[in-house]
Structure 1
Amino acid sequence: MSNLTHFDPFAVDPVSELFQGFFRPLRAMTPEGAPLTQVKIDVAETDIAYRVTAELPGVDKKDIDVKIDGNVVSINAKVERNSEEKEGERVIRRERYSGAVSRSFSLASDIDEASATAQYQDGVLSLTLPKKAPSEQKRLQIK
C-alpha cells in the first residue's frame, strides 16, 4: 500500500508530445538549432567611446539596420532561413522561417553619429560609438 504512483493521463507518447509541444514558446531557430529570438550584446566603455558587440548568426549584412538617436542605439535584423533535405529526387523535408529580431538600449552619454563605425564579420556585429563631447552649460542671466 506504500507504493503510490502519480497518474498522468497524457503519458501516452503521441498525446504527451502533442500537448507538451503546444505549450512551448515559439522560437526562431538558427540552422544549428540555437534560438535567435533576441540579439545578445556586450557593451564596453572607455573615456572616449563605447564598443558594442552583437551576435547575429546567419544574418546577411544587408539585412542589418543600426540607428542611433542621442544615447539610444537600435539594432534591427531581418532573418530568413531556408533549409531543404533531399534523398535522390524526392524532397524529404523543407523548412522556412522569416522574421525580424531587434534590440534597443540606452547608454549613459550621447553618441557622435558622424564618427560611429560598424563592422559585421562571422555573425558578429561590432560597433564603435564615440561619445559626444559634453557641451558647456550655459548660464542664464536673471533680469
Structure 2
Amino acid sequence: MLPFERSDSNVFDTFDNFARDFFRKSNADLPAFRTDIRDAGDSFLLEADLPGFNKEDISLDLKDGILTISAVHQDSSEEKDDKGSYIRRERRYGSFQRSFDVTGIDESGITAAYQNGVLTLTLPKARPVEPETHKIAIQ
C-alpha cells in the first residue's frame, strides 16, 4: 500500500512552493569557507580560501586537540556631496569560523602562511610512540 497525498492546491501554489524550496535549499548548509586537506606523506596540508581578508583579520587557536580558524572583516566607505549629504554609504561585515580535530598531529610543529587569499597550514603528523621494552634480570 502506498501513501496517498491529497492536495487542494492550484497552479499558483506551484510558484509559491518553488520559491519556498529554492530559499530553503540555499547555501546556508555550506561551510563558512572552503578548505582542501591533502596528505603530503609526513604532514597534512590544509588550504583555506579566505579572499578579501588581511593577515591581521585571521586568528588560529589550538585548544584540547581542536584547531579553530576564525576570520573577521569590517569595511565601510562613504561618499558625500558638497552639502555633506550622503550620496552613497556602504558597510560590510563578515565573520567566519571553522574547527578541525587535529588528533594525531604534532601540535608544536604546525606552521601557517597567508598569500593571495589562501591560508596554508602545514600540520606535521605525530610520530607513533613505540612502547619501550627492556629485559628484567632474574635473580
User: Does the alignment reach a TM-score above 0.5?
Assistant: yes
CA RMSD of aligned residues (A): 3.5
Deviates more, 1:50-59 or 1:110-119: 110-119
Following TM superposition, by how much is the alpha carbon of 1:98 offset from its aligned partner in structure 2, in angstroms? 2.6
* 1:67 partnered with 2:66: no
Q: Which of 30, 52, 55 is the matching residue for 2:46?
A: 52
Following TM superposition, by how much is the alpha carbon of 1:7 offset from its aligned partner in structure 2, in angstroms? 4.6
Greater share of residues in helix: 2
TM-score normalised over the length of structure 2: 0.62
User: Does structure 2 retain, via aligned residues, the 8 Å contact 1:53–1:124?
Assistant: yes
Residue matched to 2:93:
98
Residue matched to 1:116:
110
TM-score normalised over the length of structure 1: 0.61
- CA distances 1:102-137 after superposition (whole Å, capped 9, x unpaired): 001224x42223221111111110111111111224
Task: Sort the Cα spacing of 1:69 and 1:134 in 2 relative to 1 into closer, same or farther, 3 A.
Answer: farther
Number of residue pairs matched?
114
Q: Whole-Å Cα distance in 1 between the matches of residues 33 and 115 of structure 2? A: 15
- Greater C-alpha Rg: 2
Q: Partner amino acid for 2:98?
A: R
Q: Partner amino acid for 1:124?
A: V
Q: Whole-Å Cα distance in 1 between the matches of residues 109 and 12 of structure 2? A: 65
Task: Sort the Cα spacing of 1:111 and 1:81 in 2 relative to 1 into closer, same or farther, 3 A.
Answer: same
User: Does structure 1 retain, via aligned residues, the 8 Å contact 2:80–2:88?
Assistant: no
SS of 1:114's equivalent in the other structure is helix
Q: Whole-Å Cα distance in 1 between the matches of residues 35 and 12 of structure 2? A: 45
Residue matched to 1:125:
119
Structure 2: runs of 5 or more not aligned: 1-9, 14-19, 134-139
